[in-house]
Structure 1
Amino acid sequence: MPKIVDHNERRQSVIEATWRVIAREGIANATTREIAREANCSSGILAHYFKDKADIMASAMLAAHAEVHVRLDPRLTGVASVRQYMLECLPLDERRRFLAVIEVSFWGQAVGNPRLVEVNANEMDSFRRKLRIRLVEAQEQGELKPEVDVEAVVRELHVLMDGLSIQAALYPHSAPKKEQVAMLDAILDRIRRHPG
């Protein structure tokens, strides 16, 4: 009797194969043929689960983002929640650096592809919205200085994440974990209301 393959499991195995090919060969060499070979399946099976290479790339990036949310502690609120969210998004360890490579590779693939640009824009909007919600919560809890411009802080944290992700992808030994955490904490310390 043939083995029944779970649709989601097969998609996930292709996504993980895509991650490995991108990390090993680079985005330019992440062909559907190479991805299929890495996933141990035929190009025809690949086409059954994904519309085209753009769909594979979009799915690979979305899956990388989904990993962040699995690790979040929903009990944290305010500034602690902002800090935790950012720490999960920054390339602080081998796994998160690997995911940063996937992210940056996706950006290169998205240039000139309106569909991928839209996927990326939606994800960036979602990232900013999640940061904004946490910062507004911190503001409402009285944790932020009264003059703090939430939108400006959202932009600053976004630039910090993107900048460190690019450096992690292109210069693997760029900013060590301690330095990245210090940069984040400097921003949060500047906006946090201190007792007295």
Structure 2
Amino acid sequence: MPKIIDHDQRRSDIVDVTWDLIVRGGIEAATMREIAAAAGFANGALKLYFAGKEEIIAATYERALDMMREYVALDGLRGLAALRELCVSSMPIDEARITAGRVLLIFWQMSLSDRRMHDKYLEHVREWRGLLHRFLAEGREDGDIVTETPDEQLVDEVILVNAGANVMSLVAGEFSTVALQHRHLESFLARLTKP
């Protein structure tokens, strides 16, 4: 009986080894030859699953974005509580999130010259901004958020502080400790509850 091949699993395995290569050696380490060897394929066999390296990298980028989404546990939360959860979930506060941030940082650089990756990241940012706006509106509706600072400015603050925290956790960790990130977040959230 012929062996049944799970093509989706093989694609996922290829993305896994690409992720590991990028984490260990940067984007330069993720050559087609290295990806194929790490996945246990002949070099040309990758073409059965991905058209080329760009497609593998794009799938790995999507994995990083999906990981960031998976950290968010909003079940039943709304308003200020949901805003807090969303902010905490996107902070580089453990090794897995720091690693995801490291991979995303590499992809941010690539998105400067790759339109498809740039558009994919913009889609992610728009989704994130939409959630922030929704939770701020809910918090105002619930009476928990009373600041006169416009929501657009608050959303910008969250995005910029989070992006900065992710970069700083990688390049100057002593200036972006988990404790410091939590203090900044609590200070920000406390401002929302004051007129």
Query: TM-score, structure 1 length as denominator?
Result: 0.88
The number of residue pairs the alignment matches comes to 194
Give the whole-Å Cα distance in 1 for the aligned partners of 2:193 and 2:50: 45
Are positions 1:4 and 2:9 aligned together?
A: no
- Give the conservation status (yes or no) of the 8 Å contact 1:13–1:39: yes
1:20: Cα distance to partner? Answer: 0.9
Q: How does 1:18-167 map to 2 (within 5 A)?
A: 18-71=18-71, 72-167=73-168
Which amino acid in the other structure matches residue 103 of structure 1? L
Structure 1's 151 and 78: CA in aligned 2 closer, same or farther, altered over 3 A? Answer: same
1:62-96 superposed Cα distances (whole Å, 9 cap, x missing partner):
22222233341311111111111111111100010
SS of equivalent to 1:120:
helix
- Give the conservation status (yes or no) of the 8 Å contact 1:11–1:49: yes
1:12-41 superposed Cα distances (whole Å, 9 cap, x missing partner):
222221221111001223222222222222
SS of equivalent to 2:170:
helix
- Give the conservation status (yes or no) of the 8 Å contact 1:77–1:137: yes
Which amino acid in the other structure matches residue 38 of structure 2? E
Query: TM-score, structure 2 length as denominator?
Result: 0.89
Give the whole-Å Cα distance in 1 for the aligned partners of 2:19 and 2:32: 12
- Structure 2's unaligned 5+ residue stretches are none
- Structure 1's unaligned 5+ residue stretches are none
State the identity %. Answer: 28
Structure 1's 112 and 77: CA in aligned 2 closer, same or farther, altered over 3 A? Answer: same
Alignment RMSD, CA only? 2.0
